[in-house]
Chain A
Amino acid sequence: MTQSLLEIDKLSVTFQLPNGPVTAVKDVSFSIIEGETMALVGESGSGKSVTSTAAMRLLPELAETTGAIRFNGENLLEITPKRMRRIRGNDISMIFQEPMTSLNPLHRIGRQIGEVLIRHKQLNGKANRQRVLELLNQVGIPEPERRIDSYPYELSGGQRQRVMIAMALAGEPKLLIADEPTTALDVTVQAQILALLKSLQAKYGMAILFITHDLSIVRHFADHVAVMRYGEVVESGRTLEVFDAPQHDYTRMLLDAIPRGRKEPAPADSPVLMSGRDIKVRFALKKRLFGKSQYFEAVRGIDLSIRRGQTLGIVGESGSGKSTLGRALLRLLKSKGEIRFEEADISGLDKSGMRPLRSRLQVVFQDPFGSLSPRMTVGEIISEGLKVHHPELNRRQREAEVIAALEEVALDPSMRNRYPHEFSGGQRQRIAIARALILKPELLLLDEPTSALDRSVQVRVIDLLRDLQKKHGLTYLFISHDLSVVRALSDDVMVMKEGRVIEQGSTEMIFSQPREAYTQALLKAAFLDDEVA
């Protein structure tokens, strides 16, 4: 029986905040064996990050930690700070979620990696540089001899994360703690990083503690899993066993929270509601006083059409231009090309020309935090559109409409005098949907409406959107990078990359028989290539 490498024994962490103590982690216990991968899963606020940070003893001073964290038998909570520093970066390494800000912006990356070697391996000078080059190679950084002298700002997010991994590997650790290392990255980059971690694990014989909220990563990556909620471990065990036969309700709920179902196709004879031809959008990067300005081509000539009652899903990674395209279609941005709404050409209309149409074309944005005006009550936010498009209504009538709209999105109408910051993310998205729906639009642009929400919340919002579409005969333009959500809601799917359409077709076709390599890569990265449609 292999001894545990890391044994967490009744770990509790309480933060002494000015408003009172907050217990983030309660009696958590689990262990990791040498060479294996353990995933710590939970939604936001579950305490998973705090647990892993506690293992490195990197918590701030106002955190009180009780229990034991035994690493190779040694209780990390009882050793001296000096001894802990020998372990950090050396026997246990950690990589974090935010690659863009986790590297020192003023130091070259060679130096940052080399620092670990100096401190833990007593490697200096030439030997140090040699080893750094080796590490850069191992993590897949191209042209290491050049990159070793680069500054972080010269690298992309994915590359920066690779540098972080190199830094973590430099000490040849027995345990690597990875705190949501791919959450901030595009899905194809995520796939690469996960593959890299797997191969390095095999090579170095490391154990990995992988923290994530994404169950599909857990399924494909981890040997063991521990599910956390509200600071406690509700269930743990071998991944396959837990996923096949979850014991706890919460685990069951998490596993179920995958967007399900498919959309019923719209009637074959329904007319084209909106169409676009050769749409191009570009942004000026630098406006020079003399000479040519530089432009960034966000959308490079796209045709599309949506029929009434349909949902067109547009997928792509960051920078693909999908959000820009959506905004261009709704004339929220300047663009070239022809845009038609119900046969009428709207591409040339100015603000006042577009105004009467606005009630028929509405938007729900991604960021529930930012899309509601912080200084207006929810009621005011929802009724703002009414004031523009139905000025004939008096206050009482508007209030009645607001109450009806809130009920439609399953929110309590008595909350209409509260302010946005008093609601949760999911509730705010419902408010945003209510704001759009109160005008009884025909077309709704949904720009990543669920991407900032926890999975369990997402599923409910998606169900709501589905119900509303059926009830009101709405047409949706659904933009997302999340393929499973798009699959559950769309009739047709358009795959975009760098401003162009890579592939287009019915949901069925795209997901079960993708023709283009990029589409296939996307599906593979999202672990959707082996799931039955």
Chain B
Amino acid sequence: MTSESKPYSGEQAHAAPLPAGGPNPPRSPEPEAGVAPVGESLAKDAWRRLSQNRAAMVSLGLLIAIIVVCIVGPWLLPWGLAEVDWNAFGTGPTLENAHYLGTDANGRDLLTRTLYGGRISLSVALVASFVSLVIGVLYGAISGYLGGRVDNYMMRFVDIMYSLPFMFLVILLMVVFGRNIFLIYAAIGAVEWLDMARIVRGQTLALKRREFIEAAHALGVRDTKIVTRHLIPNAIGPVIIYVTLTVPKVILLESFLSFLGLGVQEPLTSWGVLISEGVDMMESAPWMLLVPSIFLAITLFCLNFLGDGLRDALDPRTR
């Protein structure tokens, strides 16, 4: 059928009347007997749009680079995490002795420590984000899908939790149970799941009413299939976007805790700890503050650009 009217766009409300596709005759796929060319899924479309966003791509590259360096770097560098170079206390960046970014007040190589710290900071970010993702998605999806009174109570609970001064409770937890890395993963994850739950619930509620869900019901498709084949793939977009917002928040949270002295314990270190040490030595050895700060700042910048890029790529309105 090649004489259909153009792709359905005229009825969408544009505040300023922009034609979505212009008055060009509609493009119809060329018919070929037997062969059925694969169309462009929304995921592919989103990826294409994302790859055209230079800032996002550069950020993605940088992030991957940082992750790789933090994982591989310490194996390549001569100095260990807690290894003291008795000849170099608080020296600045130099090429000798392979103290490329200097040492700290205790003679430990700063670059090495920063990379190890990166491992911790990034792993906390990923694990805690994952924890909050899992809890939030399950909670939100169940609440949204079941709806009604159950949804009411579940969301009331979230509302109450939302108004708690969580930071303080996390600090409390740290104090009470000691500064265990796994506890940090769990505590931070437990703080962030609330937003995720709200978003997923909102998505689920909106999707529930969409006609393709009704159509699936009308076909007789079972509930579990509906959730897996229809709800979840369509809710993923905002979830991904939200994860890119959560990860920087988590990194900041962990750094914040570490800065206060309530984060990871020796011998482990993180960027927050290093920054805290750097603040103390700010006047005499500024590189101690600057090196981990720069790593942290770059990571956060990249996450932000990537997040913005993802948001634009996945936003159906700008399609």
Contact = CB atoms under 8 A, between A and B. Distances in A.
Interface in A33-57: 43-47, 49-50, 53
Interface string A396-429: 0000000000000011111111110111111110
Contact of A23 (B4, B23, B222): B23
A358 B218 contact: yes
B11 A452 contact: yes
A367 interface: yes
A332 B218 contact: yes
A375 to B, nearest CB: 4
Contacts of A499: none
Given A24-B23, A98-B13, A365 B214 contact: yes
Given A15-B18, A358-B219, A377-B39, A418 B29 contact: yes
Closest 3 CB pairs of A and B: A44-B10, A418-B39, A425-B8
Nearest to B2: A412
B29 A412 contact: yes
A123 to B, nearest CB: 29
Given A22-B21, A60-B16, A358-B220, 14 more contacts: A43-B10, A53-B17, A58-B16, A60-B18, A287-B149, A287-B152, A370-B211, A384-B216, A385-B221, A417-B36, A419-B39, A432-B215, A454-B5, A454-B10
Given A373-B234, A375-B42, A388-B220, A424 B6 contact: yes
B213 to A, nearest CB: 8
B267 interface: no
Interface in A336-382: 351, 354-356, 358-359, 361-363, 365-379
A435 interface: yes
Contacts of A358: 218-220
Contacts of A351: 223
Interface of A: 15, 17, 22-24, 26, 43-47, 49-50, 53, 58-60, 98, 101, 229-231, 287, 327, 330, 332, 351, 354-356, 358-359, 361-363, 365-379, 384-385, 388-389, 410-419, 421-428, 430, 432, 435, 439, 452-454, 456-457, 460
Nearest to B210: A370
16 contacts: A22-B21, A23-B22, A53-B17, A351-B223, A356-B220, A369-B8, A385-B220, A412-B31, A413-B36, A416-B36, A417-B37, A419-B39, A422-B29, A422-B40, A424-B8, A428-B8
A424 B26 contact: yes
A375 B38 contact: no
A418 B27 CA distance: 14
B230 interface: yes
Contacts of B216: 373, 384
A410 B223 CA distance: 32
Contacts, number: 188
B21 A45 contact: yes
Nearest to A425: B8
Contact of A231 (B23, B26, B220, B221): B23
Given A379-B36, A412-B31, A45 B212 contact: no
A297 to B, nearest CB: 19
A488 B305 CA distance: 56
Main secondary structure of the interface of B (DSSP, over half): loop
Contacts of A365: 211, 214-215
B29 A414 contact: yes
Nearest to B232: A375
Contact of B220 (A59, A354, A421, A423): A354
Given A375-B234, A422-B40, A367 B1 contact: no
B261 interface: no
A361 B32 CA distance: 34
B212 A372 contact: yes
Which residue, A23, A59, A419, A460, has most C-beta atoms of chain B within 10 A? Answer: A419
B24 interface: yes
B220 A355 contact: yes
A430 B1 CA distance: 10
Interface string B262-296: 00000000000000000000000000000000000
Given A44-B9, A427-B1, A287 B148 contact: yes
B17 A50 contact: yes
Contacts of A416: 36
Nearest to A229: B23
Nearest to A97: B13
A359 B219 CA distance: 7
Nearest to B14: A49
B217 interface: yes
Contact of A375 (B22, B32, B41, B211): B41
B33 interface: yes
A17 B16 CA distance: 13
A143 to B, nearest CB: 31
B212 A22 contact: no
Given A354-B220, A358-B218, A24 B229 contact: no
Given A362-B218, A363-B215, A414-B32, A419 B19 contact: no
A448 to B, nearest CB: 11
B29 A374 contact: no
Contact of B5 (A287, A371, A426): A426
Contacts of B212: 370-374
Interface string B218-240: 11111100000110011000000
A435 B36 contact: no
B165 interface: no
A435 B215 contact: yes
A405 to B, nearest CB: 14
Contacts of B19: 15, 22, 24, 45, 47, 50
A164 B155 CA distance: 39
Contacts of B210: 370
A332 B34 CA distance: 37
B42 A359 contact: no
A427 B152 CA distance: 40
A23 B22 CA distance: 7
B76 interface: no
B25 interface: yes
B35 interface: yes
B218 A330 contact: yes
B7 interface: yes
Contacts of B43: 375
A166 B197 CA distance: 46
Interface string B57-81: 0000000000000000000000000
Contacts of A45: 5-6, 9-10, 19, 21-23
A356 B17 CA distance: 48
A424 B2 CA distance: 10
A389 B23 contact: no
Nearest to B318: A18
Nearest to B153: A289
Contacts of B9: 44-45
Nearest to B52: A18
A60 B220 CA distance: 47
A445 to B, nearest CB: 8
A205 B64 CA distance: 69
Given A367-B211, A435-B215, A410 B1 contact: yes
B42 A419 contact: yes
A423 B16 contact: no
Nearest to A52: B17
Contacts of A361: 218
A384 B43 CA distance: 21
